[in-house]
Chain A
Amino acid sequence: SQKIEQNSEALNIQEGKTATLTCNYTNYSPAYLQWYRQDPGRGPVFLLLIRENEKEKRKERLKVTFDTTLKQSLFHITASQPADSATYLCALRALTFGQGTILTVHP
């Protein structure tokens, strides 16, 4: 079965730096991959979707890349702010979710 792994349980960075989160998957390449943000006590919120034929997708300070050779997606937050602190989840075709990476941005 398809598996997805986010290889950092927690990431701590300083305000203003770029946060980079990793999502790896096994087996076949999905048609697309999604990234969600989850704040404590709330449900996940959709951020970005990247298709297998797209190398990169941007939305404001967010950037997602998709490397089907490495079977990996990278999620970047540039000029990070304390308000970016949250858990970030990647999802394969919106049904299989990674465990999430807890991002903490320190002032």
Chain B
Amino acid sequence: DAGITQSPRHKVTETGTPVTLRCHQTENHRYMYWYRQDPGHGLRLIHYSYGVKDTDKGEVSDGYSVSRSKTEDFLLTLESATSSQTSVYFCAISESTTITDTQYFGPGTRLTVL
């Protein structure tokens, strides 16, 4: 998985609680991404980062925030989890100086919000 780890790999939480997912890379790639994958919707971009402290929104960013204080770490936070945020979350990285390069994906985090 190209030096990408995600933690936790599985999490069950209750509606209204905050949740933070972590993505860690050892490749020193500039770009990092968070996606969610749901049946019938495929992969959808939540947020991405193009450098330390530089982030931007994706297609489905409502209810999510991100932070990147170090090149190797990209955090995804659900401030107040809802059942609609039950999903599998994938982190990805890419090397290029544009945002249009090949992406390498982590193993995913399965999040269940009860």
Residues on A facing B (Cβ under 8 Å)? 31-32, 34, 41-46, 49, 89, 93-100
Instruction: Identify A43's interface contact among B41, B44, B94, B105, CB under 8 A.
Output: B105
* Count of CB-CB pairs between chains A and B under 8 Å: 49
Assembly CA distance A46 to B108 (angstroms): 16
Kindly list chain A residues whose C-beta atoms are within 8 Å of the C-beta of B103: 44, 46, 94
Q: Are B94 and A94 in contact (CB under 8 A)?
A: yes
Given contacts A31-B100, A32-B100, A93-B100, contact A44 B105 (CB under 8 A): yes
Residue numbers of B with Cβ under 8 A of A are: 1, 33, 35, 40-45, 48, 58-59, 90, 92, 94, 99-108
24 A-B residue contacts at CB 8 Å?
Answer: A34-B102, A43-B106, A43-B108, A44-B90, A44-B103, A44-B105, A45-B105, A46-B103, A89-B43, A93-B99, A93-B100, A94-B94, A94-B100, A95-B48, A95-B99, A95-B100, A96-B45, A96-B59, A97-B35, A97-B42, A97-B44, A98-B42, A99-B40, A100-B42
Q: Is the CB of A46 within 8 A of B102?
A: yes
With contacts A31-B100, A32-B100, A89-B42 taken as known, whether A42 is within 8 angstroms of B94 at the C-beta atoms is no
